[in-house]
């Protein structure tokens, strides 16, 4: 595995860029007609890098109208998140949902005060998801509604806070612990062996060729490497270099960007602003921190336990920690939590029983156990760690949905019987289904991260979970202690 310092030695040094510089640029371009980024988030973990922005789990025109009208400190949002959960859907369903959301967003924008919408397809920083399908559908829908063609699709999977960086056009994961400083090409990790969204290439141009089945050959992809992102110590010169590099983009040309730090994201954002000022029409396929940098939002410090409950009176009940993800880091985090939190009751959902003929009876028993246990303290609900999958991607998704539906039922029935003090959901599909169906959240506000740069807290503003802190915790982020650290902040028994 290469050392990050050695790989970076071939490129210019990082350039410090304040978030305010991007925010001012965005404000200037929004003077005549305010621009809002509509972020189609294929699972809710994309919100972990932002703060004080609205998030929707439904996408009717009225829902967008609420989000566009929402204000923080007298300002309308620069971005609105829509929880699509498309990573749990098959391609046809994902395409249909993307189209419906884009159409409704455009309808809401045209019905109220004039807004310019730009669309962001937020997906996994380890390259799992419906690509290029989702950007394709968004682009086609925008063209169908208003005749506007997309020149380029900007692909930025990097998530430095979580150890995912792109250097020299290659996407890497950073090592931790004894492997700190080392880089592993993402195709060499467990994420690339995903049952539904596996891939073979870490070089982003080749990844695009692979996933587009040759429609976009690798040599047709525009690569904005660090020589371009860091072209000058003057951010405005770098912005022009970035805009110049993508000037030839047309017909949804893929554009890949190197990113190692937040400053790189801000430099890229200034360049994209310049390109759009020149008339380029761009879509974005990105990891979590892109939106924060693109709108010029400062990095929000991690929330304290007191801030998590601000404005609400916490319940005396125990909290509910729901773990569905099966990646290695999640299992280690779960083990650390159960070892340290001796007061918590552990309830395992047996996946084989869920797939059996007495699933309904088993579910009833599980709910009764969770409710009774919450009266005495925190409850950790997790699916059995044996991952049941098949070689068929559709069948694997069906199993995942069955398990997720059971988890949702446990959360929903518990909520309506004995509301917990807080809810933590671990895993992308898990946290999406728990939010939209388990807690019946329709509208929420992302308050900020529970750990630096990762793990977001939502405050539901309506429905049966109103005021209960909801923690969205991606399966593939944090170190072994992270789940215990977040639980400790919120719990009154840990």
CATH number for the domain spanning 396: value is 3.40.980.20
CB contact at 8 A, 351 and 383: yes
Nearest one of 293, 227, 271, 280 to 79, comparing CA atoms: 293
In a shared domain, residues 283 and 175? yes
pLDDT tens per residue across span 203-216: 999 999 999 999 99
Across the beta sheet with 183-185, the strand order is 164-167, 170-174, 183-185
| Number of domains within the chain | 2
Mean pLDDT of all residues in 330-350: 94
In a shared domain, residues 388 and 241? no
| Res. 168 pLDDT band, cuts 50 70 90 | very high
Residue 432: per-residue pLDDT: 84
Mean pLDDT of all residues in 305-318: 92
In a shared domain, residues 356 and 397? yes
Mean pLDDT of all residues in 434-447: 95
In a shared domain, residues 255 and 403? no
Q: Does the pLDDT value for residue 385 go beyond 60?
A: no
d(CA 456, CA 258): 25
CATH classification at residue 190: 3.40.50.10840
Assigned domain for 439 exists: yes
Most confident of 358-362, 390-394, 397-401, 414-418: 414-418
Mean pLDDT of all residues in 123-132: 96
In a shared domain, residues 255 and 349? no
Q: How far is CA 31 from CA 38, 116, 230, 366, 494, in A?
A: 18, 11, 28, 55, 49
Q: Does the pLDDT value for residue 346 go beyond 90?
A: yes
Q: Which pairing describes strands 183-185 and 170-174: parallel, antiparallel, or unpaired?
A: antiparallel
Nearest one of 494, 328, 474 to 422, comparing CA atoms: 494
| Res. 450 pLDDT band, cuts 50 70 90 | very high
| Res. 386 pLDDT band, cuts 50 70 90 | low
Domain region containing 216: 4-294
| Res. 486 pLDDT band, cuts 50 70 90 | very high
Assigned domain for 130 exists: yes
Q: Phi-psi bin for 246: left (phi > 0), alpha (psi -120 to 50), beta?
A: alpha
In a shared domain, residues 426 and 343? yes
For the chain, the three-class secondary structure string (H helix, E strand, C coil) is CCEHHHHHCCCCCCCCCCHHHHHHHHHHHCCCCCEEEEEEECCHHHHHHCCCEEEECCCCHHHHHHHHHCCECCECCCEEEEECCHHHCCHHHHHHHHHHHHHHHHHHHHHCCCCEEEEEEECCCCCCCCCCHHHHHHHHHHHHHHCCCCCEEEEECCEHHHCEEEECCEEEEECCHHHCCEEEEHHHCHHHHCCCCCCCCCEHHHHHHHHCCCCCCHHHCEEECHHHHCCCCCHHHHHHHHHHHCCCCCCCEEEEECECCHHHHHHHHHHHHHHHHCCCCEEEEECCHHHHHHCCCCCCCCCCHHHHCCCCCCCCCCCEEEECCCCHHHHHHHHHHHHHCCCCEEEEECHHHHCCCCHHHHHHHHHHHHHHHHCCCCEEEEECCCCCCCCCHHHHHHHHHHHHHHHHHHHHHHHHHCCCCCEEEECHHHHHHHHHHHCCCCEEEEEEEEECCEEEEEEECCCCCCCCCEEEECCCCCCCCHHHHHHHHHCCCC
Mean pLDDT of all residues in 33-43: 94
pLDDT tens per residue across span 243-299: 999 999 999 999 999 999 999 999 999 999 999 999 999 999 999 999 999 999 999
Assigned domain for 299 exists: no
Assigned domain for 300 exists: no
Residue 431: per-residue pLDDT: 87
Among 102-106, 288-292, 342-346, 396-400, where is mean pLDDT lowest?
A: 396-400
In a shared domain, residues 351 and 449? yes
Measured in residues, the chain has a length of 494
| Res. 46 pLDDT band, cuts 50 70 90 | confident
In a shared domain, residues 393 and 365? yes
132: cis peptide before it, omega within 30°?
yes
Mean pLDDT of all residues in 409-435: 92
Q: Phi-psi bin for 171: left (phi > 0), alpha (psi -120 to 50), beta?
A: beta
CB contact at 8 A, 183 and 2: yes
pLDDT top residue among 20 and 387: 20
Assigned domain for 391 exists: yes
Mean pLDDT of all residues in 235-247: 98
| Res. 389 pLDDT band, cuts 50 70 90 | low
Assigned domain for 469 exists: yes
In a shared domain, residues 264 and 290? yes
Residue 339: per-residue pLDDT: 96
In a shared domain, residues 234 and 315? no
Q: What is the pTM of this model?
A: 0.91
Which of residues 294, 314, 342 is at a domain's end?
294
Assigned domain for 445 exists: yes
| Res. 430 pLDDT band, cuts 50 70 90 | confident
Distance of CA 396 to the CA centre of its chain: 22
Assigned domain for 287 exists: yes
Report residue 118 as tokens. 């730009």
pLDDT tens per residue across span 53-99: 999 999 999 999 999 999 888 889 999 999 998 998 899 999 999 99
- In the chain, what percentage of residues exceed pLDDT 70? 98
Residue 133: per-residue pLDDT: 98
Q: Does the pLDDT value for residue 381 go beyond 60?
A: yes
Which of residues 233, 259, 294 is at a domain's end?
294
Residue 398: per-residue pLDDT: 74
In a shared domain, residues 343 and 235? no
Tell me the pLDDT of the chain averaged across its residues: 93
| Res. 327 pLDDT band, cuts 50 70 90 | confident
Which of residues 266, 294, 322 is at a domain's end?
294
Residue 380: per-residue pLDDT: 97
Report residue 355 as tokens. 């797939």
In a shared domain, residues 82 and 223? yes
């Amino acid at each position: 595995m290469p050392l990050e310092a050695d790989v970076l030695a071939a490129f210019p040094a990082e350039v410090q860029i304040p978030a305010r510089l991007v925010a001012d640029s965005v404000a200037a371009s929004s003077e005549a007609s305010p621009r809002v980024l509509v972020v189609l988030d294929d699972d809710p973990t994309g919100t972990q890098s932002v703060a004080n922005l609205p998030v929707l789990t439904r996408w009717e025109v009225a829902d967008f109208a609420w989000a566009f009208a929402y204000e923080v400190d007298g300002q309308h949002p620069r971005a609105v998140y829509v929880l699509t959960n498309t990573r749990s859907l098959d391609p046809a369903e994902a395409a249909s949902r993307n189209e419906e959301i884009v159409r409704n967003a455009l309808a809401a924008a045209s019905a109220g005060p004039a807004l310019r919408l730009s669309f962001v397809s937020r997906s996994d920083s380890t390259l799992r998801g419906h690509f290029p399908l989702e950007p394709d559908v968004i682009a086609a829908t925008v063209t169908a509604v208003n005749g506007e063609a997309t020149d380029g699709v900007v692909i930025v999977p990097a998530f430095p806070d979580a150890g995912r960086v792109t250097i020299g056009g290659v996407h890497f994961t950073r090592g931790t612990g004894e492997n700190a400083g080392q880089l592993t090409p993402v195709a060499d990790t467990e994420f690339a062996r995903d049952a539904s969204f596996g891939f073979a290439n870490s070089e982003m141009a080749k990844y695009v060729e692979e996933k587009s089945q040759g429609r976009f050959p690798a040599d047709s992809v525009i690569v904005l490497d660090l020589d371009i992102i860091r072209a000058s110590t003057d951010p405005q010169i770098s912005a022009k270099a970035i805009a110049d590099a993508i000037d030839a983009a047309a017909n949804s040309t893929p554009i890949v960007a190197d990113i190692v730090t937040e400053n790189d994201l801000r430099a890229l954002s200034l360049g994209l602003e310049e390109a759009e000022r020149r008339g380029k029409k761009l879509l974005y396929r990105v990891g979590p921190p892109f939106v924060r940098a693109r709108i010029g939002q400062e990095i929000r410090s991690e929330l304290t336990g007191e801030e998590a409950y601000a404005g609400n009176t916490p319940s005396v009940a125990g909290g509910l920690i729901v773990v569905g993800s099966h990646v290695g880091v999640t299992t280690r985090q779960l083990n650390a939590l159960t070892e340290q939190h001796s007061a918590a009751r552990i309830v395992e959902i047996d996946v084989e029983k869920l797939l059996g003929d007495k699933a309904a009876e088993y579910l009833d028993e599980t709910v009764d156990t969770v409710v009774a246990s919450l009266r005495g303290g925190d409850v950790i609900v997790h699916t059995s760690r044996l991952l049941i999958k098949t070689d068929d991607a559709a069948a694997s998704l069906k199993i995942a949905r069955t398990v997720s539906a059971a988890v949702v039922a446990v959360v929903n029935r518990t909520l309506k019987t004995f509301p917990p003090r807080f809810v933590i959901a671990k895993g992308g599909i898990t946290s999406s289904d728990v939010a939209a169906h388990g807690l019946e959240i329709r509208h929420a506000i992302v308050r900020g991260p529970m750990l630096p740069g990762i793990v977001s807290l939502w405050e539901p503003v309506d429905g049966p979970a109103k005021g209960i802190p909801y923690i969205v915790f991606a399966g593939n982020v944090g170190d072994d202690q992270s789940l215990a650290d977040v639980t400790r902040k919120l719990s009154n028994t840990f």
